[in-house]
Structure 1
Amino acid sequence: MIRGIYTAVSGMITQEGKQNVITNNLSNVNTVGFKGEELSVKEFDRVLLYNYDKVVNGKNYRQDLGEISLGSKIDDVNTNFTQGSFEKTDKATDFAIEGRGFFTVQRNDGIGNNRYYTRDGSFHINSRGYLVNSSGDNILGINLETEQIEPIRVNSNNLALDGEGKLNVDGSPSYRFYTCDFGQENNVNEDYKSLQKVGDNLYTGENARETNNTAIKQYNLEKSNVNVIKEMVEMMTVMRNFETNQKVIQSLDETLGKAVNELGSIR
């Protein structure tokens, strides 16, 4: 019975982890470029039960009874990088990536200028004339004149992205977004396993490579890829599973109480 309580408790902990992931997904359903998360669960290592009750010719022999599961545990939290739908806007500083790739963001965190990656193309122009994200981090681009990677400085709302991916400022081709990708094109979720969320809709990742064939749309934003109906169904399933494990623990606790207070009493 004690083993049963531990198994049920591990199930409750797993369901609590799932609930946290679902809650985070639902709270970001309107976050631009947000990618939903999925929690994967695996079983604890099974345990072989055996005893020595078998007696042959007065000698006890080992008798295997079979394997028993000790419950489930959280394996990992994976990000679903599938494409979100597009939403039309009236802002020239709104951009969306179609297909693979990420915008590159430069943040000065007091230690140095670190690079991060995002699918959130909701940009604006700060007081210094630079294209920045909602946190004030610079968006990196390639200067078409010097071919250097640098923060995009526009000093004007007169922006136009042409068919070749060049960002025209006041009618003059000035920059190309410095977009990066990871891994190969055959399996998005597998390629992006090195990416880690660090907050503010940003990612860090290993082996980023520049990609020049990223399709970018102006006057568009990529919406979150969270499916609200699916998340609500998952939430109800989690609640039912949690309640089931809770009832199992209550039943086992009552049984243990009787074993201690009634079976062991002297009459």
Structure 2
Amino acid sequence: MLRGLYTAAAGMITQQRKHDTITNNISNLNTPGFKQGSAVSRSFPEMLISALGAGAPGVVKNIGKLNTGVLAEEDLSIYLQGDLQETKSPLDVAIVSNIVTDVTGQALPPFDKSGKYVTPEGERIFQPQAFITVQNEQGEERYSRNGKLTVNVEGQLITPEGYKVLDTNGQPILLRDANGQMIANVKILQNGTFLDAVNGQPLLDAGGNPVTLLISRVENPNRMIREGNGVYRLNEEDAATVTPAVMNEEVQVHQGYIERSNVDPTQSMIDMMAALRAYETNQKMVQFYDKSLEKAVNEVGRV
């Protein structure tokens, strides 16, 4: 009886975590570049139930398998391309990414709409994704799809959270001319190169090189870890899987646009109601077991 109580309680916890994931998706419906999360559930290891001495001493008869509950194992992001929204702000950028070749130019397998391909052997392969490369206060690289950019008092290009946007040399982008004057009007090409909108000349860094956005290609985006504020990081063992993206028809930067969240509000509401109903079902099972235990203690015990 207690086993069933624990199984129902595990189901309630799992549905609560699913509900939290869905509500977080809905709350970020208008967050630029937000990628919705999906709570992945799995069952606890099954147990083999056997009957000892079934029919004769020393005889073991296998009855069957018993499932002991379910848990929300992880929260995976879905990197489906979001719609572009025009803002006409010269510092707003949106990444359009549909990478279908590997770093050597060879074709990758056909991915489904969620960016996943399952081989005949059951191996899952995920589509590489492109991200704006930023730097936090500790000087560590992070990755984001939020292209709602601004300039700080020092003339550095930053995200809404204050992360510095990096160029292809790994340095913060500084929007100043050779005389140290801040450049108000810039043009950003589809390959991420910055031009002075007045004279059409490329902006140059301290080394005399054209200033270009560092767009990073992440081979397995599901290895990324959410840090909040639309920023992701990678563990040290996965750092080697990140390379500068080749800017072509597969990866492009669009100035004056932002990428909208890829959350589907209708499907999110359906999933939230399903999680609520499943939670209520498990709750009723807990109440049933509680009443059964109460009867066993208060009534059967008196007989």
Question: Same fold by TM (over 0.5)?
Answer: yes
| More strand, by proportion | 1
Matches within 5 A, 1:107-256: 107-109=136-138, 113-142=139-168, 148-154=169-175, 155-162=182-189, 164-169=191-196, 170=198, 171-174=200-203, 175-183=211-219, 191-205=220-234, 206-207=239-240, 208-213=242-247, 214-256=251-293
Change (3 A) 1:164 1:29: closer
Change (3 A) 1:28 1:14: same
SS, match of residue 244 in structure 1:
helix
- Write the deviation string for residues 206-251 of structure 1: whole angstroms up to 9, x where unpaired: 3311113130000000000011111100010011000000111111
- Write the deviation string for residues 90-145 of structure 1: whole angstroms up to 9, x where unpaired: 21000000014111111223xxx111111011001111111111122211113xxx
Deviation at 1:3, TM superposition (A): 0.8
Deviation at 1:163, TM superposition (A): 5.0
The alignment yields a C-alpha RMSD, in angstroms, of 1.5
The gaps in structure 2 that reach 5 residues or longer are 98-128, 176-181, 204-210
Deviation at 1:167, TM superposition (A): 1.0
Q: Quote the sequence identity (%).
A: 31
Change (3 A) 1:163 1:234: closer
Which segment is superposed worse, 38-47 or 166-175?
166-175
Give the structure 2 partner of residue 41 of structure 1.
Answer: 41
- Supply the distance in 2 between the matched residues of 1:172 and 1:227 (Cα, whole angstroms): 41
- Write the deviation string for residues 33-76 of structure 1: whole angstroms up to 9, x where unpaired: 000000111111111112235233xx352222211111111221
- Count of residues in Structure 1 that have an aligned counterpart in Structure 2: 249
Conservation of the 8 A alpha-carbon contact between 2:191 and 2:252: no
Change (3 A) 1:224 1:164: closer
The gaps in structure 1 that reach 5 residues or longer are 143-147, 184-190
- Supply the distance in 1 between the matched residues of 2:154 and 2:301 (Cα, whole angstroms): 80
Give the structure 1 partner of residue 109 of structure 2.
Answer: none
Give the structure 2 partner of residue 187 of structure 1.
Answer: none
Conservation of the 8 A alpha-carbon contact between 2:189 and 2:254: no
TM-score (norm. length: structure 2): 0.78
- Write the deviation string for residues 156-195 of structure 1: whole angstroms up to 9, x where unpaired: 2211123554210242212111111111xxxxxxx21221
Give the structure 2 partner of residue 103 of structure 1.
Answer: 132
